[in-house]
Structure 1
Amino acid sequence: MFRTLLSSNPRALALFSALIFANLAAWGWAFLAFHQSPALMAASLLAWCYGLRHAVDADHIAAIDNVTRKMMQRGQRPFGVGAWFSLGHSSIVVLASIAIAATAAAIKEDLAWFHDAGGTIGTAVSALFLLAMALANFIILRGVWRNFRRLKRGEALDKNDDAATGGGAMSWLFRSVFRLVGKSWHMYLVGFLFGLGFDTATEIGVLGISAASATHGMSIWSILVFPALFTSGMALIDTLDNFIMVGAYGWAFNKPQRKLYYNMTITGTSVVVALFIGGLEALGLLMDKFSLSGGLWRWVEGVNDNLGDAGFVVVGLFLLCWLLSFVNYRLKGYDALVVS
């Protein structure tokens, strides 16, 4: 599927090639700067792995999937969602690394205030965006379910219902939600705001590497190797995730009955994941700001502390839903349904 997707879409192939080149260029920069220091080459590998790891955080997976699914529902082929989200997200790390390099050790002590303020903003934006996208996809899910029931009864499909652009009260109420991200590049701002939190170990790790290098008198250009590796690695994985979603949804949207059946399973999964991750982030923010503890809040704190690992579960869940949906679709023989 991935090879077919690239061969049939020049834009996707160009973007993937550019990201491969960006990763090779970042590693070439690291080798030129640090080839005489095994320790700094190891730090470079660590920064790159941080980027790869951060790309599978649950909020990344949920945001990219929900936006990709929503845009494809409107007939678009959004190959750049993951790349733009990564660039916006990593811009914060790059800017902070430059600030650290420019002011050396002094800023390390003064960064705490920005971490606190940015953490509140970043977490709030992440939670609200995911909850908004969950609402948007819930409206789509409602239309899909209605149309699939019509299909099974042999009735004509409502062409507007599953597109979530009809005139119902819910569509009117959440019309602004559908306009949040209309083009792939809009995800740059979303990713930028997500990144304000500095609340992941990966981002803190890259900043820590930059700070440690600054205190040893390293030039700003050498320090920027670390965020460059972080960015290139994260953008590659986020874009691959985006491509996988486009390919899976492309199969589903190839026929009206596939579109309806597959959407019921994967859209429901998208809604649940977005609500779960966004809800946990919102509850974690309330817990932190109002010093809540005990009972439910202890559980919320524990899950939020391990939210990064949930990204692997989310990826597996989406793949499992796609596989089960595909197998059940074939067994039920839905391809033979007549669409009117």
Structure 2
Amino acid sequence: MASLAPAASSRALLPVVVAIGVLTALGAATLGAAAVTAPGSAPTVLGLGVTCWLLGARHALDADHIAAIDNTTRRLLDRSDGDSTGTADAGRPRAATTGFWFALGHSTVVFAAVVLITAGVAVLRDQLADDGSPLGRFTGVWGPLVSSAFLLLIAVLNLRMLAATRRALGTDGDRVPAPAGGPLTRLFAAPLRRIDTPRAMYPVGLLFGLGFDTATTIGLIVIAAGSAALLPAWAALALPVVFAAGMTLVDTLDAVLMERAYGWALRDRRRRLTYNTVVTGVSILAAVGVAAVTLAALGTELLGDVPVLGRLAAVDLQYAGVALVGFFAVAFAVTLLRTRTPT
């Protein structure tokens, strides 16, 4: 059944590729029409579109995005690898769409914020522009808490599954269930059990997006564009669309990479005990590390200057997501070359 995985993966990804193409074409066509109707401002209008696409692509590589997508992809693959009837290959392609649904949920918040701003909701515009506003303070706490809690919980679940799999493969090759854990673990892990398909990552992305980090960026661009009379309202709505196109493309590519890397290792006992352990371990450590730095930054903001928190909060995560993707890509490529095992 493993030989069918690439074809099945392509079929599962086709609707996602089409959706990303539609987002890109819709945003580009709308901004193109705006540029045609205002030829003098055409370079600025098109520049805004390119800027928003790049912002979406760059935000897709944020460390919390990458850690959430990678760890969820690993968990979905483990769930689909439970028997020998072909369900593993049936589940693998679906895991490749995890990044798309997460990014789509995140982008929905950005789009909703821009819709309200362009509709003239002055209260939201003022709140987004002021970090000290009630909305700014609330989202400044909400975003770090939600992302950190999710990353820690998904990392714990993956660690338990990885440990159970290694114990099983180290004995007679039969899988055994993960240990039940304590009551607190079961309580807090219960919501994550609902994430049994990639589509379930849409509300997770939505919750991440309510931190309003990217919504603020795009919202301020729309405000600047509107105040300069560069864009009509219908054209301003294209900015979050191209933002979503950039984010969904990059996060989808990340999930596809992880699906291939994890899935390739799952098909061989030796690879599961070595390569997959290393890659999964790095994903888990990354999730815990990102959550720790995020919570430390939040604690520093709320509690003031606390030496231990301050040192941890000073860790720069700006390029951590890019480094993680690069590590996984290089590790997968090097291992393939060394083993010369067809995927």
TM-score w.r.t. structure 2 length? Answer: 0.83
Deviation at 1:324, TM superposition (A): 5.3
User: What is the CA–CA distance in structure 2 between the aligned matches of 1:71 and 1:319, rounded to whole Å?
Assistant: 20
| Paired position in structure 2 for 1:31 | 32
| Paired position in structure 2 for 1:232 | 245
For residues 173 and 113 of structure 1, do their structure 2 counterparts lie closer, same or farther at Cα, with a shift above 3 Å needed?
A: closer
User: What is the CA–CA distance in structure 2 between the aligned matches of 1:177 and 1:263, rounded to whole Å?
Assistant: 26
Deviation at 1:26, TM superposition (A): 1.5
Q: How does 1:239-318 map to 2 (within 5 A)?
A: 239-293=252-306, 295-303=307-315, 306-318=316-328
Deviation at 1:146, TM superposition (A): 1.9
| Paired position in structure 1 for 2:211 | 197
User: What is the CA–CA distance in structure 2 between the aligned matches of 1:16 and 1:24, rounded to whole Å?
Assistant: 12
For residues 105 and 73 of structure 1, do their structure 2 counterparts lie closer, same or farther at Cα, with a shift above 3 Å needed?
A: same
Deviation at 1:10, TM superposition (A): 0.9
For residues 263 and 94 of structure 1, do their structure 2 counterparts lie closer, same or farther at Cα, with a shift above 3 Å needed?
A: same
User: What is the CA–CA distance in structure 2 between the aligned matches of 1:198 and 1:307, rounded to whole Å?
Assistant: 18
Q: Which moved more, 1:72-81 or 1:182-191?
A: 72-81
Deviation at 1:101, TM superposition (A): 1.1
| 2:104 aligned with 1:87 | yes
Alignment deviations for residues 248-284 of structure 1 (CA, whole Å, 9 cap, x no partner): 1221122333333332111111110110001111121
| 2:227 aligned with 1:206 | no
| 2:146 aligned with 1:134 | no
TM-score w.r.t. structure 1 length? Answer: 0.83
Instruction: Assess if the C-alpha contact under 8 Å between 1:12 and 1:79 holds in 2.
Output: yes
Q: How does 1:112-127 map to 2 (within 5 A)?
A: 112-127=133-148
User: What is the CA–CA distance in structure 1 between the aligned matches of 2:224 and 2:329, rounded to whole Å?
Assistant: 40
Instruction: Assess if the C-alpha contact under 8 Å between 1:105 and 1:214 holds in 2.
Output: no
| 2:67 aligned with 1:62 | yes
RMSD over aligned Cα atoms: 2.6
Deviation at 1:98, TM superposition (A): 1.2
| 2:127 aligned with 1:110 | yes
User: What is the CA–CA distance in structure 2 between the aligned matches of 1:113 and 1:58, rounded to whole Å?
Assistant: 27
User: What is the CA–CA distance in structure 2 between the aligned matches of 1:181 and 1:38, rounded to whole Å?
Assistant: 43
Aligned residue type for 2:18: S
For residues 106 and 139 of structure 1, do their structure 2 counterparts lie closer, same or farther at Cα, with a shift above 3 Å needed?
A: closer
Instruction: Assess if the C-alpha contact under 8 Å between 1:64 and 1:242 holds in 2.
Output: yes
| Paired position in structure 1 for 2:20 | 19
User: What is the CA–CA distance in structure 2 between the aligned matches of 1:242 and 1:113, rounded to whole Å?
Assistant: 35
Instruction: Assess if the C-alpha contact under 8 Å between 2:297 and 2:310 holds in 1.
Output: no
User: What is the CA–CA distance in structure 1 between the aligned matches of 2:200 and 2:309, rounded to whole Å?
Assistant: 34
SS at 1:103's partner residue? Answer: coil
Deviation at 1:220, TM superposition (A): 2.3
Deviation at 1:60, TM superposition (A): 0.6
Match for residue 114 of structure 2 among 97, 105, 115: 97
User: What is the CA–CA distance in structure 2 between the aligned matches of 1:54 and 1:8, rounded to whole Å?
Assistant: 25
Aligned residue type for 2:43: P
What are structure 1's unaligned runs of at least 5 residues? 151-155, 334-340
Q: Which moved more, 1:312-321 or 1:63-72?
A: 312-321
User: What is the CA–CA distance in structure 2 between the aligned matches of 1:149 and 1:5, rounded to whole Å?
Assistant: 29
